[in-house]
């Protein structure tokens, strides 16, 4: 393919760590890509408009896009102990928040989907960029907010209190790891090219693990949190064996999320397979 593929991902350390080798031409024979770095909800909306060939996506968004995009096995964010947190400006019980307005990092984020799957859900939410949620809650603009990414390491610095660890709730409820975000490819790219892309993503993850210091300048260039300790903690939490390959356990977690969301009417049903098979 002569033209590079458009590839969207976030400026968060886990993504810049994973994609460093691919976008910097470190992998022989890998498809050429042109990166676009945006926050996760912007990527969700771009995918909804079909604006990207490849993209990091919230699994919630994938639930709405399964007819146009297929899931890749490598490059995503899925694990244990890494879910979104519901935080407030004062200690409170979750039931106190059912009728208040809660800040969320986007309508199509998995964070919002997990929030809506908890109990009867939450009827009043307001979407805003994830990095604005903690200051807004601390300032009293919202009673609570759902925080993601590196915010889970820094919310106490804003004087905030954890009300609920949505990831921990999910793990206890289902026994599955938390499917936060995956990598999608347009189904129209075809099985052959999609297979090459998936192999290149796995190789990019392997390269980052083998050369952990090499991507550091690129990560620091884009990180919203410049503290190296926070950056390293972020990568250690969100980049793991599931980032190399979802495997049976990861796939089961995604299917469990979609099954529960479909049953609640939060995403539409889809009869297409998650993956495009070369066979």
* CATH for 118: 3.40.190.10
Catalytic residue among 60, 64, 149, 234: 149
Task: Specify if 21 maps to a domain.
Answer: yes
Does 10 share its domain with 40? yes
Last residue of a domain, one of 124, 152, 174: 174
222 is annotated as an active-site residue:
no
Does 75 share its domain with 185? yes
Q: How far apart are CA 99 and CA 125, in angstroms?
A: 10
Last residue of a domain, one of 125, 153, 174: 174
Residue 56 is labelled as binding a ligand: yes
- Asked whether the beta carbons of 39 and 128 are under 8 A apart, the reply is no
Task: Specify if 268 maps to a domain.
Answer: no
Does 184 share its domain with 75? yes
Task: Specify if 279 maps to a domain.
Answer: no
Last residue of a domain, one of 147, 174, 201: 174
Does 90 share its domain with 111? yes
Does 96 share its domain with 169? yes
Q: How many domains does the chain have?
A: 2
Does 57 share its domain with 122? no
Does 196 share its domain with 144? no
Nearest-5° angle of CA 211, CA 221, CA 214? 10
What tokens appear for 163 in the block?
A: 């009300």
* CA distances, 96 to each of 144, 176, 213, 271 (Å): 10, 28, 45, 39
Expressed as residue numbers, the domain containing 259 is: 5-79+178-263
> Closest Cα to residue 4, out of 245, 246, 189, 215?
189
Residue 29 DSSP label: T
Residue 57 is labelled as binding a ligand: yes
Task: Specify if 277 maps to a domain.
Answer: no
- Taking only the tens of pLDDT, the chain with its 279 residues reads 468 999 999 998 999 999 999 999 999 999 999 999 998 889 999 999 999 999 999 999 999 999 999 999 999 999 898 889 999 999 998 988 988 999 999 999 999 999 999 998 898 999 998 889 999 999 999 999 999 877 777 888 889 999 999 999 999 999 999 999 999 999 999 999 999 999 999 999 999 999 999 999 999 999 865 677 778 888 888 899 999 999 999 999 999 999 999 999 999 999 999 999 765
Predicted pLDDT of residue 274: 95
* H or E stretch at 161: strand 161-165
Task: Specify if 123 maps to a domain.
Answer: yes
Question: Side by side, which strands form the sheet with 125-127?
Answer: 125-127, 102-104, 144-147, 85-88, 161-165
Residue 111 is labelled as binding a ligand: yes
Does 39 share its domain with 165? no
Task: Specify if 278 maps to a domain.
Answer: no
The pTM of this model reads: 0.90
Does 15 share its domain with 153? no
Q: How far apart are CA 178 and CA 168, in angstroms?
A: 9
Task: Specify if 106 maps to a domain.
Answer: yes
Does 55 share its domain with 93? no
Task: Specify if 97 maps to a domain.
Answer: yes
Does 71 share its domain with 98? no
Q: How far apart are CA 162 and CA 214, in angstroms?
A: 35
Residue 61 is labelled as binding a ligand: no
Does 10 share its domain with 144? no
Q: How far apart are CA 85 and CA 103, in angstroms?
A: 12
Residue 223 is labelled as binding a ligand: no
Q: Tally the residues of the chain.
A: 279
């Amino acid at each position: 393919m002569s033209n590079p593929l458009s590839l969207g991902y976030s400026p968060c350390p886990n993504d810049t760590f994973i994609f460093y080798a691919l976008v910097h031409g470190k992998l022989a024979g890998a498809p050429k890509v042109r990166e676009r770095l945006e926050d996760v909800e912007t990527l969700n909306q771009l995918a909804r408009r079909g604006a990207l060939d490849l993209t990091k996506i919230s699994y919630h968004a994938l639930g709405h896009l399964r007819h146009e995009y297929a899931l890749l096995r490598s490059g995503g964010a899925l694990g244990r102990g890494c879910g979104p947190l519901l935080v407030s400006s004062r200690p409170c019980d979750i039931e106190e928040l059912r009728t208040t307005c809660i800040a969320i990092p986007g309508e199509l984020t998995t964070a919002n989907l997990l929030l809506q799957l908890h109990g009867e859900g939450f009827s009043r939410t307001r979407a805003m960029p994830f990095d604005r949620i903690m200051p807004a809650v601390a300032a009293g603009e919202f009673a609570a907010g759902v925080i993601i990414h590196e915010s889970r390491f820094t919310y106490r610095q804003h004087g905030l209190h954890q009300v609920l660890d949505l990831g921990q709730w999910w793990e206890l409820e289902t026994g599955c790891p938390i499917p936060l975000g995956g990598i999608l490819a347009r189904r129209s790219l075809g099985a052959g090219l999609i297979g090459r892309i998936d192999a290149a993503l796995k190789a990019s993850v392997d390269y980052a693990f083998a050369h952990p210091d090499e991507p550091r300048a690129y990560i620091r260039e884009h990180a919203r949190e410049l503290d190296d300790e926070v950056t390293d903690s972020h990568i250690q939490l969100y980049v793991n064996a599931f980032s190399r390959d979802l495997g049976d356990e990861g796939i089961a977690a995604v299917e469990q999320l979609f099954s529960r969301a479909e049953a609640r009417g939060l995403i539409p049903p889809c009869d297409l397979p998650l993956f495009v098979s070369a066979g």
